[in-house]
Structure formats: C-alpha cells, structure tokens
Amino acid sequence: MALIGFGEAGSTFARAGGWSGRARGWDLLPERRALMAECGINAAGDPASALVDADIALCLVTADAALPAARDYAALVPEGTLWCDMNSVAPQTKRSAAEAIESAGGRYVDVAVMAPVDPAALDVPLLLAGPCAGDAEAALNALGFGKTRIVGDEVGRASAIKMIRSVMVKGLEALTSECAAAAEAAGVFDEVMASLDASEKATGWADKVAYNRERMDTHGLRRAAEMEEVCKTLAGLGVEPVMSEGAVALQRRAGENARTRKDQAA
C-alpha cells in the first residue's frame, strides 16, 4: 500500500494500523517524510517509488492539493490500483480527480472522512462512493478501518454528504467565534453565554466557545481550504454560499493568527 500525504491523518492512521513493512509513503515536506519511520512507514524518495506495486493508495493531502496530486501522480499509479481520495473536497473536484486517475488505469474511490481522525484513528467513520467502492471497502477493512459504509456508486456522493455537513459544522464554529468576539468587545461575554445557556443546556456555551476556538486555531487553515470546497459544492447546487464564504474568512484568519503566535513564541 501507499500513503500519499503524511499530515495528521496519515500519521494517525499509520500509528494505529501497525502497517510496518506493508506501506510506503510520500510527502512533499521533508519533515513529514522523516516522521514516517517513527510510524513504521517506509519513506519513499519520490512519488513513483511510493506507488510502485501498490494495490491501494490512500491520498491524504490538503484540500487544495487533492486534484493536483491526482493529476500529477496518475501516470505513476499501477493499473488496477485503488486510489482512495480521502480529502475534503467538492464533488466536482473528486470527479475531476477520478477522471485523471481512471484515464491512466487506476481505480478511483471517493472517500469522505466524517469525524476528526484524532482520537478516532481507524474507527473514524468513512463513507465510500464510486464503482469500485465495494473493493475499496474490503481493502480498507483489511487495513483495520472499522467503520466504513458505501453510500453509492457515483463518485462525488460521499463528498457531497461531507461538504454539505461541513456547512453546519465549520459554519457553527465561525459563527461561535464571531459572536464571542463581539460579546467580549462589548464586555458582556458572561451575560451572552448565560442567555444562550438558558435556551440550550446540554453543554454550556462558554465551553462551546472554547472548544470551537481551539478547533479553529489548530485546524483553521485546513478547514478554510475545505470550506472553499464547500462553497464550490453549494454553488454547483445553485445555492449562494453567503455564510460559508464568511466561514472561509474566519477559519483562515484564526489559523493564520495561531501560526503567527506560535512563530513569535518560538
């Protein structure tokens, strides 16, 4: 097997999977290739070496790199290899990636990762779609993934579920951050949180604010890229992505500010 991209998802899956001796990996960043050895993955010197003889490839790059990776590496994918595109991108993006992979002889599978990979790891829910989804499900189960579900034979269906869900998940984070910022600026944070708590008791709003802000700080840049794909999804459906475009801006700003603070502290 091959791992294309070795960020949070790739490294989390590798540590949990016990794939030592079974997998080769490739990432554009040298520091991520260096991390592979710690996770039992053989680091390839180039993408061709990672993909040679692979029967399945898990593509786990960033949203903006998903289509370029498919186009750039399609000719390197052995004929018949399952290319599991696990990136959070629009259905249109996945269909374009599928065209690139399949035209070169690979078998493309649309995979949507439906929850944070940490701490779920191999128990993270995966939705699969495409003509080869059945073969991919069997292969992923053999690798240790325990919560797979086929949602259709059309590439883009799994992605549509993920992208449309993200309107709510990432949008609520952005709305939460905006509301809290205004409440703090007005000096009425506690009062606003108490008012929100009065109408929803399951989890206090101050705790929700803290959680959502942490998620935006930690994953804002990646989530902004995903939300750009969400906007593309909605536009393709004839829905103007007004709130989702705002979520892009706030997620990106949070991620950039967190990176700046980290650099200044170093």
The alpha carbon of 171 is separated from its chain's Cα centroid by a whole number of angstroms, namely 16
pLDDT at 149: 98
Residue 124 pLDDT greater than 90, yes or no: yes
Contact 7, 113 (CB under 8 A): no
Binned at pLDDT 50, 70 and 90, residue 21 comes out as: confident
Do the domains 159-265 and 2-154 match in fold?
no
What CATH homologous superfamily does 2-154 map to? Answer: NAD(P)-binding Rossmann-like Domain (3.40.50.720)
In degrees, rounded to 5, the angle at the alpha carbon of residue 229 between the alpha carbons of residues 226 and 235 is: 145
Pick from 63, 73, 64: which is nearest to 108 by CA? 73
Largest Cα–Cα separation, the chain: 62
Residue 249 pLDDT greater than 90, yes or no: yes
Averaged over 22-39, what is the pLDDT?
Answer: 94
CA–CA distance, 182 with 51 (Å, rounded to integer): 50
Q: What is the DSSP letter of 122?
A: G
Through-space distance between the first and last CA atoms of the chain, rounded to whole angstroms = 37
Peptide bond into 68 cis (omega under 30): no
pLDDT at 239: 87
Binned at pLDDT 50, 70 and 90, residue 49 comes out as: very high
Indicate the burial class of 89 (C-beta count within 10 angstroms; 0-12, 13-18, 19 or more): buried
CA–CA distance, 57 with 25 (Å, rounded to integer): 9
Tell me the domain boundaries of the chain.
Answer: 2-154, 159-265
pLDDT at 266: 80
**Phi and psi torsions of 59, nearest 5°:** -90, 115
Lowest mean pLDDT segment, chosen from 80-84, 143-147, 208-212: 208-212
pLDDT at 59: 98
CATH 1.20.272.10 fits domain 159-265: no
* 98-105: long-range pairs with CB below 8 Å, 24+: 98/70, 98/130, 98/155, 100/67, 100/70, 100/71, 100/74, 101/70, 101/74, 101/77, 103/74, 104/74, 104/75, 104/77, 105/77, 105/78, 105/79, 105/80
Contact 188, 226 (CB under 8 A): no
Report pLDDT digits (tens) over 171-202.
889 988 888 989 999 999 999 999 999 988 78
CB proximity list for 126: less than 8 A, separation 6 or greater: 86, 111, 112, 113, 114, 140, 145, 147, 148, 149
Report pLDDT digits (tens) over 68-92.
999 999 999 999 999 999 999 999 9
Calculate the average pLDDT of the chain.
94
Report pLDDT digits (tens) over 219-244.
999 999 999 999 998 899 898 998 88
